[in-house]
Amino acid sequence: MKKEVPRDKFYLKSLHQEIDFYDRKIAYLENYLQFDTDADREGAKHKLITKRASLAETAKILVADGVEFNPSELPRSFQAAEAAAQPPLAV
């Protein structure tokens, strides 16, 4: 039986923090960790990406449901995607 996901801004903030944490773990794995084989590296990376994807999906569902959040609290990976989606300002 699945647990009910809280639908408040505090839970969404903690989700964003956890997503940012997984982004940093993936970057660390790619740049600094040593593995015996490339398959071991890809396996470890796949586990982290899978967990991050489930957290990101939950966060996107909460945002779509109208849970309020502060844009400055978004994970860096979300901020980069949001900035790329917006057209540049005309001067």
Structure tokens given for 45: 């990376």
Q: Identify whether 3 is part of a domain.
A: no
Query: SS in 3 state form for 29-45?
Result: HHHCCCCCCHHHHHHHH
What's residue 87's pLDDT? Answer: 66
What's residue 23's pLDDT? Answer: 97
What's residue 75's pLDDT? Answer: 92
pTM for the predicted model, two decimal places: 0.82
- Mean pLDDT for back-to-back runs of 10 residues, the chain (91 residues): 80 96 96 95 97 96 93 87 66 57
For the chain, the domain total comes to 1
Domain that residue 51 falls in: 9-69
Q: Identify whether 90 is part of a domain.
A: no
Q: Identify whether 14 is part of a domain.
A: yes
Q: Identify whether 74 is part of a domain.
A: no
45 burial via Cβ count (<10 Å: 0-12, 13-18, 19+) = middle
What's residue 1's pLDDT? Answer: 64
Average model confidence (pLDDT) for the chain? Answer: 89
